[in-house]
Structure 1
Amino acid sequence: MPTKLDWYLQVNLKARQLQLLVALDDFGNLKKVAEVSHVTLPAVSKALTELEKGLGLELFTRTAQGMLPTVYGECLIRYARGMLTDLQQVRDELKALESGSSGKVNIGVYPLSSPALVPRALVLLKQRSRSTNVRVIEGTTRALLPQLLEGKLDLVIGRLPALQSPTGFEAKELLEEDLLVVAGPQHPLAKREHVDWPELTGYTWVLPPLFSQMREPLERVLLQHGMPLENDYLETPSISLAKAYLYLTDAVAVMAGTAAHDSLQPLAILPVSLPRLLPPLGVQWNRNRPLSRSARLMVECLEEAAAMLR
């Protein structure tokens, strides 16, 4: 037999109450929530009281530090954020369909991912569905995966985790890439048929940032070859900046093959052997959220772009 809690969640819970919960969690203060919501303080207090009474649960405790969610509040807030994101996506997709668009796909990309894969996939996507709109943001694993979990992103593209994908995520491998030691075309070693590691001593290294997937294994390899990186290096997540710097100096760097072989800004490949340091490029999505038609099309385009690059 349905309980009071069942009845309230299934029949009486409203979107504005979900918004109230999220706002209280964000601001921790009834007065602040009233100000940003443009309603009176008594109205906000009454809405919270009615919600707690309807559920039969205490959702927040009042402390000197502000409103703190109880275990019941934390549970409901977590799902409230997801439901509000879903409602926003439904609204966006309905508006897109109404305006003649085929929908929208939100993509997260890691900074050091292949600069060739995503642009090629986007070209294929627009060739097949010109009215599909795309939003691409760049960020770290720590920044993008929570958004994927919350439904703010449909897909995240980049190096797959070295271990099994975190709980809740589905992953598809797209492209294995070898890493290459590269330099600008004017580099003294650029046309050599053979380069020994000691010959790279004395050149500035352009490195990926700390805590990126490539940095620790790359440093380990360089140390094995007697090249500690203590005094003379530059670190950046930007491939375009790294390339520009290599063109202007005699610095050296390590890049994936697709970045090094870019026809618009080719680099010199130095004949130095590197082990495979990174997992393959791939795409991840939230297995608990069905992919939209636009997102499924984007995955297909990524697979085709990867096949072209292979």
Structure 2
Amino acid sequence: MAIEIRQLRAFLAIAETGSIGRAAERVHLTQPAISRTLAEMERRLGHRLFERHARGMAPTAAGETLLPYARLMIFEAEQARRALDALDGLERGVVRVGAVGTIVRGLLPGVVRTLLANAPGLSCSIIEAPDEQLQAQLCAREIDLVIGSAAVDDGELATIGECRHDDRFTVFAAADHPLSDTSLAAVLACDWVMPLEAMAPRRMFLETVAATGAGVTPRIALETTSHDAMLRFVAETRLLGWLPQSLIADALAAGQVRVIAVPELHVSRRFFLLQRARGSLPPAARAFIDLLPLISGETE
């Protein structure tokens, strides 16, 4: 049984679009050509891979079984091409990294500056998103590495190191906020703006509050997915916020917000470097890792 990469690309296009016509457009084939490619693939495998229905085409049980392996084989073929392109050095290649906001703003600019100075032919794709979204993109092979606040070793993803980066969360308020009593009880009695409930910083905040033993659950009056929105709402309302100092530094310097000194709520978090548990890293990604200030860990 010999399956070619071009056949896998056609199979994947049909599975993802649910249509012979749209799949043909994606892989730049005519509809008869992609139909012949699918028929030849099914003949070689000895299994029917799709069923036709009123809304298009859906994978059979055999097709569903093949799907993750097809994605992996296509990805590895692309990685091989990228590795061969880089044999003469890092003249070409793309570093695809996902990171949480404080890493994008604090750690990565210096790393990327050094990387591009060492290898001017490289390019970088940096994605900023919450941990959960980054992990999903890593699993989907949309990025090669993640630097986030969660260590993961679940068979799909693997933690390969811990980054050395100081990231202290702090309470902040509008510069003209009337709060004068900065005791823990008084601060927790205020209304807050927070990330969505499912996001890691929100969980971390509530765990930090619980660890104080105050026996109070702060009222979350506003929630958002955006750090910038949190800053804007805090600056223009009487809500309190809780973000890393690196993310509020510009607003502090501009006099828009001020820090509320509550030692019990000023905590640091750790950052971890993740890659997929299976498959290899392209040379460009390895060069990127070599520049990270890792406390521990080795790439495979």
Under a length normalisation based on structure 1, what TM-score does the superposition of the two structures give? Answer: 0.75
User: Which position in structure 1 is the counterpart of 2:133?
Assistant: 143
1: distance between equivalents of 2:122 and 2:29? Answer: 38
2:190/2:219 contact within 8 Å kept: no
- Seen in structure 2, the aligned counterparts of structure 1 residues 185 and 112 have a Cα distance that, compared at 3 Å, is same
In the TM superposition, 1:47-66 aligns within 5 A as 47-66=37-56
User: Is residue 240 from structure 1 mapped to residue 228 from structure 2 by the alignment?
Assistant: yes
Alignment of 1:160-171 (within 5 A): 160-161=150-151, 164-171=152-159
1:157 aligned to 134, 147, 156, which one? 147
| TM alignment of 1:110-259, pairs within 5 A | 110-111=100-101, 115-161=105-151, 164-171=152-159, 172-174=161-163, 175=165, 177-189=167-179, 195-200=182-187, 203-219=190-206, 224=214, 226=216, 228-229=218-219, 233-259=221-247
Residues paired across the two proteins, number: 289
Q: After superposition, what is the alpha-carbon deviation per residue over 1:28-63, rounded to whole angstroms, capped at 9, x for unaligned? A: 233443455564444333322221112222222334
- Structure 1 window deviating more from structure 2 (198-207 vs 18-27): it is 198-207
**SS of residue in 2 equivalent to 1:302:** coil
Structure 1 position 303 matched with structure 2 position 293 = yes
Q: Indicate how the Cα distance of structure 1 residues 110 and 238 shifts in structure 2: closer, same or farther if over 3 A, else same.
A: same
Q: Deviations over 1:54-76 (max 9, x none)?
A: 22222223344543323332232
1:84 matched residue in structure 2: 74
SS in 1 for 2:292: helix
- The alpha carbon displacement at 1:212 in A equals 0.3
More displaced stretch, 200-209 vs 95-104 = 95-104
Determine if contact 2:193/2:222 at 8 Å carries over to the other structure.
yes
Q: Is contact 1:97–1:103 with CA below 8 Å preserved after alignment?
A: no
Q: If you compute each CA radius of gyration, which structure gives the higher value, 1 or 2?
A: 1
Rounded to whole Å, the distance in 2 between the matches of 1:41 and 1:128 is: 46
Aligned residue for 1:3? none
Give the aligned residue type for 1:157: I
Closer, same or farther in 2 for the Cα pair 1:32/1:299, shift >3 Å? Answer: closer
1:290–1:30 distance in 2 versus 1, CA, 3 Å: closer
Residues in 2 aligned to 1:94 and 1:178: alpha-carbon distance in whole angstroms: 42
Offset, 1:156: 0.9
Alpha-carbon distance in 2 for matches of 1:276, 1:180: 5
Residues 165-199 of structure 1, C-alpha deviation per residue, up to 9 Å, x if partnerless? 2213221222464422122444445xx7x721343
Q: Hey, what's the Cα distance between the residues in 2 that align with 1:114 and 1:32?
A: 36
Maintained 8 Å contact 2:171/2:265: no
* TM-score normalized with structure 2 length: 0.77
Deviations 1:244-284, CA, capped at 9 Å, x for gaps: 44444443211224435568558533221336878521211
Does the Cα contact within 8 Å between 2:170 and 2:265 map onto a contact in 1?
A: no
Query: What SS does the aligned partner of 1:210 have?
Result: coil
List runs of 5+ in structure 1 lacking aligned partners.
1-7
Cα distance, 1:113 vs structure 2:
5.3
| Maintained 8 Å contact 1:208/1:214 | yes
5+ residue gaps in structure 2? none
Aligned-residue offset at 1:211:
0.8
Kindly indicate whether the alpha-carbon contact (under 8 Å) linking 1:125 and 1:297 is maintained by their aligned counterparts in 2.
Answer: yes
Q: CA deviation at 1:18?
A: 0.9
Deviations 1:209-251 (Å, cap 9, x if unpaired)? 2310121342465585545425xx3323333343344444443
Cα pair distance change 1:103/1:183, threshold 3 Å: same
